Chain A
Amino acid sequence: MNFDFSDEAKELGEQARKLLAEKAGTGPARKAMAADAPAMDAALWKEISELGWTAARVPEAHGGLGLTVEEVAQLAEAAGGSLATVPLVSTLLATEALVLAGTEAQQAKWLPGIASGEIIATVAWSEPGAVNPANVKTVASGGKLTGVKQPVADLPVAHVAIVAAAGDDGPQLYIVDLKDAQTAAVETVDLVRRHGKLTLNATPAEALGTAGDYQDWLDRAAIILAYEAIGTASAAMAMTVDYAKTRVAFGQKIGRYQAVKHKCADMYIKLELARAHALHGVAMIGTNGAELRQAAAAARVASLDALAFCAEENVQLHGGIGFTWESDCQFYYRRNRALIAALGPRGWWADRLVRALEQRNRAAA
């Protein structure tokens, strides 16, 4: 049995965590929160592109490194833990769609630029009034899209968006060159990651794969975002644990109190469950396994549960200081909302998990 990341993927993850610990983290995140701050850390983006992070999943034929989703997962976790203000996860999600469903011509057009870091890509499914990825109202007609997408992560810095819209067979993905589209910044609860509003008014778009590919991409996106959430939740847990080891109340470190330490243990438990399902998802992608849909949905739900719990209890266990503007607790607390918005709420994914289990039961019967 070899249910673990490859040594190569772990090494890349280690390198990413080390670099981002130095160049990102809550300090830069706080600077990025200022209204007049740049929408991304361009110097860091250049550095990580040169290191090949954006090229990881791009096939070698298109100027990439042709690595696996294991490397993508490691990068997403490192990005999540560091709160880095670079559009890395958005670009990884879009890359996964192009690699999964793109024609040779579509891949040749977009992937080399993504690999080099010159092209920033994002994904857009969310719409005003829509609460889940199966229910998009943006319409596709004659190679043009009409509708409104918001909030779209990293839209203010992106060059291309992979957009979900209602096609003939249900929702599917389209490629929209953002120079043809109208974009605007949108304020969100997450004050660090920039989001935008994409207004599509008979905007030219190319279909990317089929309605079935959209469903398969949702599985992959759920797993990549699960790793981002795991990274963010781990950082919140580490912050809580550090504080519980130093803060003194009633004559002893608060980490000695079971009311405090048991919450820390619960953070760890939720995180390990999320890691187990996310790794299952990665294994299913790598082996074309039949349990991908259930693994992806379970990873999504478990990682959101872990992040919500870690982010919320991190503030709580810090007490009053945790509620101040100066405290770093708010970054994780707010990012929790960003990661829910990124691919739809827990409830929808829990239902998708049960549907996948029902389908498997029927198939087995």
Chain B
Amino acid sequence: MDFNDTPQEAEYRATVRAWLEDNASEYRDPPAESWKLPEFIARSKAWQAKKHAAGYTGITWPKMFGGQGLTPMHSIIYGQEESRWHVPQGLYSIGLGMCIPTVFTHGNPEVIQRYVPKALLGEEVWCQLFSEPAAGSDLAGIRTKAVKDGDEWVIDGQKVWTSFAHASDFGIVVCRTDPSMPKHKGLTMFIVNMKAPGVTVKGIKQMSGGSDFNEVFFDGVRVNDSHRLGAVGDGWKVALTTLMHERLAVGGKPRYAPGYETLMKLAKGVEAPDGNPAIGASDVRQKIAQTYINDQGIKLTQMRALSALSKGQVPGPEQSISKVVVAKTMQDLASFALDLSGGDGFVAGADADPELAKLQGSYIGSAGLRIAGGTDEILRNIIAERVLGLPGDMRPDKDTPFNKSTAA
């Protein structure tokens, strides 16, 4: 047992590392000031084009779609090496991670030819339009409708929590095309032009004050039938292809989130109730231990999955525990550490200690992370049902025509 690369993996890693040394030098350190959107987009496009020319995009995609036809291990090694640099990241993760694989799995040849190469090159940005105000965890309850009109479909409705909608050229949108069918059956997936007449994008201001997501409104937006992904009524099946990729993408602890080391450092400088340094207090040490066990346990669990991939096997289901553990651990750690700091943990802005400000950010951000990409509750359902084989929740509306159920 070891944590080493196989000779082939080591060789690929060395090639990637050398290429990054030669090409990513301007991203050795984090930017002095975080990039504004236009600069972020410009830098993302330039970096993607550079990667594309060198063969580091679509690493696992089939060659016929412009990919490299390599293994998940190659893609992971590239990701590990790239994450040592501060290159612009995120603009393409949804498009290339989820939307385009859906396009090349379910689109017709002309559509694939038109959209896939430009997406891979980074010329066009994509977003995913699934969630709605009344359909989050219960995604199949969406109401945005598409009505056939000749060769076209007309889309009306509203989507929400769409990352990068404001920077996107295209999106994949799931719509209800037959409300007389039960809710999972009457859905259809389309490619939509985000610049088309009738599409309105509005930023959502989050609890954190940041604005990472959007609402998207569709008002009589016309889409040609050639831009349908999969058969009419198969939208749920198509969406599952996309979500399968999302579950793989949303996983580990965010790169800059505080961990047990933060609490360890903090506890040396603050007092426990008995007046001694808090690092000696039993509850503090227990919390450090628990945070290590959870965060490091997830890292090690991911290494178990990587080992399976490295041997060409399918990873076991154990990785399904990642996000549900990581998000809550982040919240618990931040809450405990801020509590330990008394009023100092509460003072924000210019008067705040920078380490405590980070913990405040983590406390607020973790509340969102516990919901994004599957709530804690949905993820526990998935573990119980898919891993342990327990029966699904009772769903009184499952077989009812959508327009006859109480939800409609």
Which A residues are within 8 Å of any B CB, using their own CB?
1-6, 70, 241, 244-245, 252-253, 255-256, 258, 260-262, 264-266, 268-269, 272-277, 279-280, 282-283, 286-287, 294, 297-298, 301-302, 305, 347, 350-351, 353-354, 357-358, 361
Q: Is the CB of A269 within 8 A of B321?
A: yes
Q: Is the CB of B297 within 8 A of A276?
A: yes
Q: Which 6 pairs across A and B sit closest by C-beta, in order of nearness? A: A261-B384, A276-B300, A273-B297, A350-B289, A255-B390, A265-B380
Please give, as numbers and ranges, the residues of chain A lying within 8 Å of B385 by CB-CB distance: 261
**Assuming A277-B293, A279-B304, A301-B289, is B384 touching A3 (CB within 8 A)?**
no
Q: Is the CB of B293 within 8 A of A361?
A: no
* B294 touches A (CB below 8 Å): yes
Instruction: Give complex CA distance A244, B379 in Å.
Output: 19
Please give, as numbers and ranges, the residues of chain B lying within 8 Å of A70 by CB-CB distance: 1
Q: Is the CB of A273 within 8 A of B321?
A: yes
Q: Is the CB of B300 within 8 A of A277?
A: yes
Please give, as numbers and ranges, the residues of chain B lying within 8 Å of A350 by CB-CB distance: 285-286, 289-290
Q: Is the CB of B390 within 8 A of A241?
A: yes
The answer, among B285, B296, B308, for a CB contact under 8 Å with A354, is B285
**Assuming A273-B325, A282-B1, A302-B293, is B387 touching A4 (CB within 8 A)?**
no
Q: Is the CB of A1 within 8 A of B4?
A: yes
Q: Is the CB of A1 within 8 A of B380?
A: no
Please give, as numbers and ranges, the residues of chain B lying within 8 Å of A265 by CB-CB distance: 379-381, 383-384, 387-388
Which A residue's beta carbon lies closest to that of B260?
A357
Please give, as numbers and ranges, the residues of chain A lying within 8 Å of B389 by CB-CB distance: 241, 245
Q: Is the CB of B1 within 8 A of A269?
A: no
* 7 interchain pairs, CB-CB under 8 A: A2-B3, A268-B387, A269-B324, A272-B321, A276-B304, A301-B293, A361-B261
**Assuming A261-B390, A357-B288, A358-B264, is B296 touching A1 (CB within 8 A)?**
no
* B151 touches A (CB below 8 Å): no
Please give, as numbers and ranges, the residues of chain A lying within 8 Å of B336 by CB-CB distance: none
* B292 touches A (CB below 8 Å): yes
**Assuming A262-B377, A353-B289, A354-B285, is B1 touching A252 (CB within 8 A)?**
no
A335 CB to nearest B CB, Å:
22
Residue from B1, B293, B308, B379 having most chain A Cβ neighbours under 10 A: B1
Please give, as numbers and ranges, the residues of chain A lying within 8 Å of B53 by CB-CB distance: none
B297 CB to nearest A CB, Å:
4
Q: Is the CB of B390 within 8 A of A286?
A: no
Please give, as numbers and ranges, the residues of chain B lying within 8 Å of A297 by CB-CB distance: 289
Instruction: Give complex CA distance A283, B390 in Å.
Output: 33
Please give, as numbers and ranges, the residues of chain A lying within 8 Å of B388 by CB-CB distance: 241, 261, 264-265, 268
A20 CB to nearest B CB, Å:
22
Which B residue's beta carbon lies closest to that of A250?
B394
Within 8 A of A (CB), among B319-334: 321, 324-325
Instruction: Give complex CA distance A298, B325 in Å.
Output: 16
B361 CB to nearest A CB, Å:
24
Q: Is the CB of A266 within 8 A of B3?
A: no
Q: Is the CB of A357 within 8 A of B292?
A: yes
Please give, as numbers and ranges, the residues of chain A lying within 8 Å of B408 by CB-CB distance: none
Q: Is the CB of B2 within 8 A of A4?
A: no
Instruction: Give complex CA distance A139, B230 in Å.
Output: 77
Q: Is the CB of A261 within 8 A of B292?
A: no
Instruction: Give complex CA distance A273, B285 in Å.
Output: 19
Q: Is the CB of B321 within 8 A of A268?
A: yes
**Assuming A3-B1, A275-B318, A277-B293, is B380 touching A354 (CB within 8 A)?**
no
Please give, as numbers and ranges, the residues of chain A lying within 8 Å of B288 by CB-CB distance: 354, 357
Please give, as numbers and ranges, the residues of chain A lying within 8 Å of B285 by CB-CB distance: 350-351, 354
Q: Is the CB of A298 within 8 A of B297?
A: yes
Please give, as numbers and ranges, the residues of chain B lying within 8 Å of A260 by CB-CB distance: 390
Q: Is the CB of A354 within 8 A of B289?
A: yes
Q: Is the CB of A2 within 8 A of B4?
A: yes
Q: Is the CB of A298 within 8 A of B264?
A: no
* B135 touches A (CB below 8 Å): no
* B7 touches A (CB below 8 Å): no
Which B residue's beta carbon lies closest to that of A349?
B289
Within 8 A of A (CB), among B208-252: none
* B60 touches A (CB below 8 Å): no
Which B residue's beta carbon lies closest to that of A260?
B390
The answer, among A244, A258, A274, A279, for a CB contact under 8 Å with B381, is A258
Instruction: Give complex CA distance A283, B286 in Å.
Output: 25
Known A1-B2, A241-B388; 7 more pairs at CB < 8 Å: A3-B300, A241-B389, A262-B380, A302-B293, A350-B285, A350-B290, A353-B292
Q: Is the CB of B303 within 8 A of A1?
A: yes
The answer, among A252, A264, A283, for a CB contact under 8 Å with B384, is A264
Please give, as numbers and ranges, the residues of chain A lying within 8 Å of B342 by CB-CB distance: none
* B306 touches A (CB below 8 Å): yes
Instruction: Give complex CA distance A17, B388 in Å.
Output: 19
Please give, as numbers and ranges, the residues of chain B lying within 8 Å of A266 by CB-CB distance: 380
Please give, as numbers and ranges, the residues of chain B lying within 8 Å of A253 by CB-CB distance: 391
B354 CB to nearest A CB, Å:
20
Please give, as numbers and ranges, the residues of chain A lying within 8 Å of B282 by CB-CB distance: 347, 351
* B81 touches A (CB below 8 Å): no
Which B residue's beta carbon lies closest to that of A268?
B383
The answer, among A256, A273, A351, for a CB contact under 8 Å with B393, is A256
Please give, as numbers and ranges, the residues of chain B lying within 8 Å of A245 by CB-CB distance: 389-391
**Assuming A1-B307, A241-B388, is B321 touching A283 (CB within 8 A)?**
no
* B392 touches A (CB below 8 Å): yes
The answer, among B293, B321, B325, B380, for a CB contact under 8 Å with A261, is B380
Which A residue's beta carbon lies closest to that of B318?
A272
Which A residue's beta carbon lies closest to that of B1?
A283
**Assuming A3-B306, A298-B296, is B301 touching A272 (CB within 8 A)?**
yes
Residue from A244, A272, A357 having most chain B Cβ neighbours under 10 A: A272
Please give, as numbers and ranges, the residues of chain B lying within 8 Å of A302 by CB-CB distance: 293, 297
Instruction: Give complex CA distance A262, B321 in Å.
Output: 12
Please give, as numbers and ranges, the residues of chain A lying within 8 Å of B390 by CB-CB distance: 241, 244-245, 255-256, 260-261, 264
Q: Is the CB of B307 within 8 A of A2?
A: yes
Q: Is the CB of A347 within 8 A of B293?
A: no
* B310 touches A (CB below 8 Å): yes
Which B residue's beta carbon lies closest to that of A274?
B297
Within 8 A of A (CB), among B9-56: 9
Please give, as numbers and ranges, the residues of chain B lying within 8 Å of A252 by CB-CB distance: 391, 394
* B5 touches A (CB below 8 Å): yes
Which B residue's beta carbon lies closest to that of A266?
B380
Q: Is the CB of A256 within 8 A of B394?
A: yes
Instruction: Give complex CA distance A255, B321 in Å.
Output: 19
**Assuming A268-B321, A301-B289, A350-B285, is B383 touching A3 (CB within 8 A)?**
no
Instruction: Give complex CA distance A255, B380 in Å.
Output: 12
Q: Is the CB of B293 within 8 A of A258?
A: no
B340 CB to nearest A CB, Å:
15
Please give, as numbers and ranges, the residues of chain B lying within 8 Å of A264 by CB-CB distance: 384, 388, 390
Instruction: Give complex CA distance A275, B297 in Å.
Output: 8
A239 CB to nearest B CB, Å:
12
Which A residue's beta carbon lies closest to that of B73?
A1
